[in-house]
Structure 1
Amino acid sequence: MHEEALDLAFVDAVAEAQGPHLTTSGTIVDIDIHFVGGGGHWEQRWEVADIGFIVNFRRSGTLLRTKVVLLQSKRLYPREAEFTEYKGVVRPGGFGSLMQPSLPATLGPRTFRFDESCHYKALQVGDRQWQSISQYENSYGLPVHYMLYHPHSMPTEASIPVVVPLGAPSGPAKVGVRVLPAGCLRNLTSDFARNRAPSYRDLQNEYGEVGIRLPQFVVDRVLSCFEGYVVDDGDENEGLRRVFNLRSAPIAAAVRIDINIPE
């Protein structure tokens, strides 16, 4: 699966919770998704963020604070896969290219393995996107976080073609989607050669994990006010305007979470 397909799966999962929800405390949580997708990307095909979180905190309808989190998605590649993100969802030749046989179908049955030695092959130290994200943070003071896609658990393997019915993983993900600040990732790879793609092992902390799981990040870090950018100037913020407001802005979707606390 390409990164864009994983982003669409993420958007689809969040979309299941759209609309206002009344909690036992009387707080109303309203989730909405604005899907942009397609279009041109900032600095050609490289983008600063793929998913944006906008969190509004209100009391009895009065806005108290707005926070923004920018997520740049990257996937862990299996040991057997080459770097192919240049195709993605936008394919040369338009619909005509969809008539061609898929690459997996032309290669026959294959098995893909994931373990700690696998690399984030589209995440390369010092490349153009790497520099764009660093320059964006330095210019506007807005932090960017990497949203790293992994299998449910590791080590694991999967074979194609997939045999149905599918045996879905049970229980909470042991690895799954992880979030790591871009600044932290740069520190972990500061002595890496240019264009080297870090592995899962390269980014592990003392607990053998990479970053923190996405639900934990949103609840314990963003909503608890340890992560994210507090917006004081709204539409006047040039960094946010470049990401969210331009039609060719470098973002696929924005998730708005509106939290209205009762008096």
Structure 2
Amino acid sequence: MTTWPDIAEDAIDWFRAVFAEANRKVTERLVNVPNIRETALDDGLVEAVIPFSPPRLLSSGAIVEMNVHNIGGLRRLGRWETADIAVLVFVYRAGTLLAQKIGLLQSKRLYPLNNDVEDDDPVGFAYGMNAFLRRDPKSPLGKAHRQFEFSVDCTYGALTAGSDQVEVIRRLNDEFGDAVYYLFYNPPMIPTTVRYPVASYQSVNHPPLGCRVYSMADVDGVLEALDEGAAPTLAALEAAGPASNWRLETWAADLLLRCKVGQQFGEDRQEIVGRLIERRSGPIAAAIAVSIALPEG
């Protein structure tokens, strides 16, 4: 395997700042719309990095650029995915590709205690925007007075012990090495309570909790202690140990860019990466590709 090149520190700092902003924006979206569907949080993360995508010259002489592709969540209605977001890194010097790697994120959101979360709706998806014209004759304001409480006892409701998705992720990591990680969307802090109707918009800055990334091994250890079909709580994950539980920006910049997580790939591993990325029907909803041109010399 190719030796991973040293990345300029200001490129790592830039990448950390990009994903810190994505963390902030996604967390802000969740705390303002606490019953938002999970796929809308994925979309929010991808949207947050787009303003940083044009080529940028850094003080070290390195140039960074991102390409973002988002198929979107609802195209997979009725299916599940191996991962929701792929982050690819390509490192160049003097116009030559030196190394490339990939890290995959399977996202799950924390459910409030009342488990009131918008789900993907097959009927609504079939109707599309026509559903807005076929209104329920009863006023939706009857559901306006609701309370969403988040505590350490809340679960990641779409992640369940013994599920087919968990097993497929396990098999992929066995085949490819540790490439898939779990991304957990959380409110900015615990406990948090949001009441409908809302009185004001909540701004978030550097959330103490927010988006967290765990290794598959840590999550598997929690799932194996649960009955089949049960979902892990925030408390159970936090008790799993400090081996992972990284902030999103730490995983992206300090670990992925420094080649401490994810997997390098070359021609010998193109087939498996192609299975995940190249086909439009592949098992990933969005990809963020960062190119880093290192300064010469």
Common fold: TM-score over 0.5:
yes
| Candidates 135, 148, 151, aligned match of 2:184 | 148
Is the alpha carbon distance of 1:172 and 1:199 closer, same or farther for their aligned partners in structure 2, counting shifts above 3 Å?
A: same
Residues 243 and 59 (structure 1 numbering): CA distance in 2 closer, same or farther, change over 3 Å?
Answer: same
Q: Is the 8 A contact 1:179 1:212 kept in 2?
A: yes
What is the identity, as a one-letter code, of the residue corresponding to 1:188?
Answer: V
**Which string of whole-angstrom CA distances, capped at 9 and with x for unpartnered residues, describes residues 80-114 of structure 1?**
12465343997243223334459974422111111
Decide whether aligned partners of structure 1 residues 156 and 231 sit closer, same or farther in structure 2, where only a CA change above 3 A counts.
same
SS at match of 1:91: helix
| Contact 2:163/2:229 (<8 A) preserved | yes
1:11 aligns with 46
Residues 13-41 of structure 1: per-residue CA shift (max 9 Å, x gap): 11121111111111111112112225754
Taking a change above 3 Å as real, the CA distance of residues 187 and 244 of structure 1, as seen in their structure-2 partners, is: same
Distance 1:24 1:6, change over 3 A: same
8 Å contact from structure 1 (residues 85, 122) kept in 2: no
Instruction: Give the alignment partner of residue 152 of structure 2, picking from 91, 103, 116.
Output: 116
Task: State whether structure 2 residue 161 is matched by structure 1 residue 125.
Answer: yes
1:206 CA drift (Å): 7.2
Letter paired with 1:70: L
1:261 equivalent in alignment to 2:294 = yes
Q: Does the 8 Å CA contact 2:39/2:72 hold for their aligned counterparts?
A: no
User: Structure 1 residues 130, 85: CA separation in 2 closer, same or farther (over 3 Å shift)?
Assistant: farther
| Structure 1 unaligned residues grouped into runs of 5+ | none
Residue of structure 2 in register with 1:190 after alignment: 224
Deviations 1:119-178 (A, max 9, x none): 0000001112112212222344452111110011111111223334x1313x31100111
Corresponding residue number in structure 1 for 2:272: 239
1:62 corresponds to 2:96: yes
Tell me the residue number matched to 1:211. Answer: 245
Q: Secondary structure at the match of 2:52?
A: coil
Alpha-carbon contact 1:58-1:258 (below 8 Å) kept: yes
Structure 1 residue 245: deviation in Å? Answer: 1.0
Query: Is the contact between residue 37 and residue 117 of structure 2 (CA under 8 Å) also seen in structure 1?
Result: no
Q: Given residue 115 of structure 1, which amino acid in structure 2 is its aligned partner? A: S
Figure out how many residues of one structure are paired with residues of the other and give that number: 259
Partner of 2:68: 33
The alignment status of 1:51 with 2:88, answered yes or no, reads no
Mapped to 1, the partners of 2:139 and 2:52 lie a distance apart of 35
- State the SS of the aligned residue for 1:16: helix
CA distance in 1: counterparts of 2:79 and 2:42, whole angstroms = 16
Letter in 2 for 1:147: L
**For 1:141 and 1:208, how far apart are their aligned partners in 2?**
21
Report the RMSD for the aligned CA atoms in angstroms: 2.7
1:21–1:28: 8 Å Cα contact kept in structure 2?
yes
State percent identity of aligned pairs. 32
Q: Contact between 2:88 and 2:100, CA under 8 Å: does it hold in 1? A: yes
Q: Which has the higher helix share?
A: 2
Q: What's 1:172 paired with?
A: 206
Secondary structure, counterpart of 1:254 in structure 2: strand
The reply on whether 1:157 has 2:193 as its aligned counterpart is yes
Q: Structure 1 118/228 Cα, relative in aligned 2: closer, same or farther at 3 Å?
A: same
What TM-score, normalized by structure 2, do the two folds share? Answer: 0.79
CA contact (8 A) 1:56 1:258 kept: yes
Measured in 2, the distance between the counterparts of 1:8 and 1:80 equals 24
Once residues 9 and 40 of structure 1 are traced to their aligned partners in structure 2, the CA distance between those partners, rounded to angstroms, is 16
Q: Helix, strand or coil for the counterpart of 1:25?
A: coil
